[in-house]
Structure 1
Amino acid sequence: MVREQYTTVTQDIDLDRTENKYVYKIGIYGWRKRCIYLFILLLIIILIVNFALTVWILKVMWFSPSGMGHLLVTQNGLRLEGESEFLFPLYAKEVHSREDSSLLLHSPQNVTINARNDTENVTGRLTVGPTDVETHGQHFKLNSNRGKMLFSADETEVVIGSDKLRITGPEGAIFEHSVETPLVRAETFKQLRLESPTRSLSMDAPNGVQIKAQTGGIEGSSQMDVLLHTIEGMIMLDAETVRLPKLPLGKQDGSGDLQKLYEVCVCPDGKIYSAAANVRSMCQKYNHICH
């Protein structure tokens, strides 16, 4: 509080001294002053609480110059130590585990991996569910460690690039349509059987079909007819013994009964029958079998 007095004094003229008393109060007083002090005290308390919370968050989240807790920032990207849980989608260019441990993706429902293009459209998808594994894409390819293609599939064909395809199921393999392969072979000491229960079985090759059994026999059976057809070549039965046990047998004469010799006759329509052998051919005698 300042009190100013203005006094006019003259040397020549003696006037009566007049005193004007004016008091000016500068500052904030009363309840306004108390409110300001209370507000400043509240700001200090809030500042201290914020500083304490910041220190607590830094301590709880394990913030450090190299990262946050198990999340470390390296030159190659981000590194997570231990188990990590993601509540929302994760976008990354590359995800790999440590050299001394495996990478485990765990989910109570499905694990889905999507590949997107520049327009954010899904071009490939891999879904691992509790009961099945699904993949969606234009082309599926499986390679070995050396880069050799083992399996490839698309809308037009499926290619198996391994040297051998082994099917160990007791029922074998079922193909609804044609199969193209250079070799069909059974496992060692096992039988090879090609069967068509309700339709026909056809084997075609431009340079010939070879059926070979190393130590056993070859058996072919059919409910209806077995046809051996060639266009330009011939059908050759080359064996030490060729037997046709169920051929129709013509009437035998005395010589045939004694010698037990028979000749094979062929009808014009291709039917084969047997007749008792004689000095001359007996096929003409028993050609009634052809009718």
Structure 2
Amino acid sequence: MVREQYTTATEGTHIERPENQYVYKIGIYGWRKRCLYLFVLLLLIILLVNFALTIWILRVMWFSPTGMGHLRVTQDGLRLEGESEFLFPLYAKEIHSRMDSSLLLQSTQNVTVNARNTDGDVTGRLKVGPKIVEVQSQQFQINSKDGKPLFTVDEKKAVVGTDKLRITGPEGALFEHSVETPLVRADSFQDLRLESPTRSLSMDAPKGVHIKAHAGKIEALSQSDIIFHSRDGTLVLDAETVCLPKLIPETSGPGSSSQRLYEICVCLDGKLYLSVAGTSTTCHENSQICL
């Protein structure tokens, strides 16, 4: 750009033009101008490429005003349709499936659900592995649909809150220590068996132990002694017939070989034996078996 100087003159005046006229050039010329145009062209190309990539990402990721792809933003939170894969931890307050489908959590290794406090420490953990399901918590509890506790486990005890606990295994239930229960009953038309293969079996109750068989018999087998002990009461055998087939009979009396009636005698140590019945007791006569 050339800056020129103009002078005005009136008639009758003569103004001499200066011999030296100064010309000032304003603007960018030469290689600077070409670099500027090239830089502007490069910015325009980058802008077009970024715009095209943005359109491509929006198209591929299925962005919409309501969400992205299968992910929808609703008033209640986020709604995810179809299968999704999470490469990093997922933090959520509540996760539930649709009303017409189930919720599936799947992993090639294990599925771990952690509960943390305000300090970030893990207070509860549920880990589902390929061979074991592990729960780490101060208390584990299973509730019914109405909120009733069905099964509760803590460091001290396990509580079954159902009305009936049923063991369906063919070998029954194995208890390594004591069991406290108000009732032990078998299924209908099945036998109830209490067994201790290598140790003793003891049943204690402050107000008595009741053993009932309404449609069968009661059988007690032991390798050593069977002891019925009553501290404050008596031992009553109330039945139409009481049979003791393996008691030792005392047959030393005369005519005892043809005698079929016996009476039960008790030694001082509690041993029972049979003695041939007579018109009066014969226990003293045959008490030598207690020696």
Q: Normalised by the size of structure 1, how large is the TM-score?
A: 0.93
1:107 aligns with 2:98: no
Q: Aligned Cα RMSD in Å? A: 2.1
Percent identity over paired residues: 66
Distance 2:258 2:13 in 1: 192
Task: Show structure 2 runs of 5+ residues with no match.
Answer: none
Distance 1:15 1:229 in 2: 151
Give the ranges of 4+ consecutive aligned residues of structure 1 lying more than 6 Å apart after TM superposition.
Answer: 6-16
Q: C-alpha offsets along residues 161-198 of structure 1, whole Å, 9 cap, x if unaligned? A: 11111111111110001111111111111111100111
Shift in Å, 1:251: 3.0
Change (3 A) 1:86 1:242: same
1:279: which partner in 2? 279
Is the contact between residue 259 and residue 276 of structure 2 (CA under 8 Å) also seen in structure 1? no
1:202: which partner in 2? 202
Task: Show structure 1 runs of 5+ residues with no match.
Answer: none
Is the contact between residue 256 and residue 278 of structure 1 (CA under 8 Å) also seen in structure 2? no
State how many pairs are aligned. Answer: 291
Distance 1:119 1:203 in 2: 50
Change (3 A) 1:239 1:15: closer
1:250: which partner in 2? 250
Residue range with higher mean Cα deviation, 117-126 or 241-250 = 241-250
Change (3 A) 1:8 1:97: closer
Change (3 A) 1:287 1:33: same
Partner amino acid, structure 2, of 1:243: C
Shift in Å, 1:289: 0.8
2:142: which partner in 1? 142
1:228: which partner in 2? 228
1:68: which partner in 2? 68
2:38: which partner in 1? 38
Residue range with higher mean Cα deviation, 104-113 or 261-270 = 261-270
Shift in Å, 1:157: 1.0
Aligned partner of residue 34 in structure 2, secondary structure: helix
Is the contact between residue 125 and residue 135 of structure 1 (CA under 8 Å) also seen in structure 2? yes
Distance 2:169 2:272 in 1: 41
1:265 aligns with 2:260: no
Distance 2:46 2:16 in 1: 62
Distance 1:170 1:147 in 2: 32
Distance 2:34 2:237 in 1: 124
Change (3 A) 1:14 1:59: closer
